[in-house]
A and B are shown apart, each in its own frame.
Chain A
Amino acid sequence: DSGVTQTPKHLITATGQRVTLRCSPRSGDLSVYWYQQSLDQGLQFLIQYYNGEERAKGNILERFSAQQFPDLHSELNLSSLELGDSALYFCASSVGRGRDTQYFGPGTRLTVL
């Protein structure tokens, strides 16, 4: 158990819908990262937050957005869902802003029908 929690574990929805994925980092960690794992793209970085502020962005679609709240939990919002958005979404957390070890949550499996 990494100490990073993600909810829900599974999510099944239809095309065009909007969903919210939630992540709680390890106690004391200030950085949160979101990654997408799919069969065709592999593990891809989406976005990083540090202490409530966006720090870095990867190839995140405009339909996707995220935020980190004052209690440091983070949410990833996916809207206008397409079949190709079906994937495993991981949240990771690390202590600070440096190249610290990232600890991963168990993931949320999103299926878009």
Chain B
Amino acid sequence: AQSVTQLGSHVSVSEGALVLLRCNYSSSVPPYLFWYVQYPNQGLQLLLKYTSAATLVKGINGFEAEFKKSETSFHLTKPSAHMSDAAEYFCAVSGNFGNEKLTFGTGTRLTIIP
């Protein structure tokens, strides 16, 4: 079975500061991991994904995430926050072949302080 834990339901950072959103996973198979962003009243947009290639994954809008097997983590970072980054962020793990559902974390709402 797969599961994801996102630490911190709300994170606030100042504009220009480092963004760090935490995600820990549990998976019975080598994981495929995803970060999605949801802006108000919109659907989920893929930020980046890990599929067992490079452990440091670069995504859109300057975000990146590092897969650490020893820590079962896949934290999302961005060096310098922008006002437009304010949104809800979801970490997800894919199921195994035969049931490729995404299991999502509870989400982290990111607020940017001007």
Residues of chain A at the chain B interface (Cβ within 8 Å): 2, 4, 31, 33, 35, 42-43, 45, 48, 55-56, 58, 90, 92, 94, 97-107
Contact = CB atoms under 8 A, between A and B. Distances in A.
A80 B49 CA distance: 38
Q: How large is the interface on B (under 10, 10 to 19, 20 to 34, 35 or more residues)?
A: 20 to 34
A56 B98 contact: yes
> Main secondary structure on chain B at its contact with chain A?
loop
Interface string B72-114: 0000000000000000001000111111111110110000000
Contact of A101 (B34, B98, B104): B34
B70 to A, nearest CB: 22
Nearest to A56: B99
Contacts of A58: 101
Contacts, number: 60
Given A45-B101, A45-B102, A92-B102, 5 more contacts: A56-B100, A98-B100, A99-B51, A99-B100, A101-B34
B28 interface: no
Interface stretch (B12-20, B36-44, B60-68): B36-44
Contact of B43 (A94, A97, A107): A107
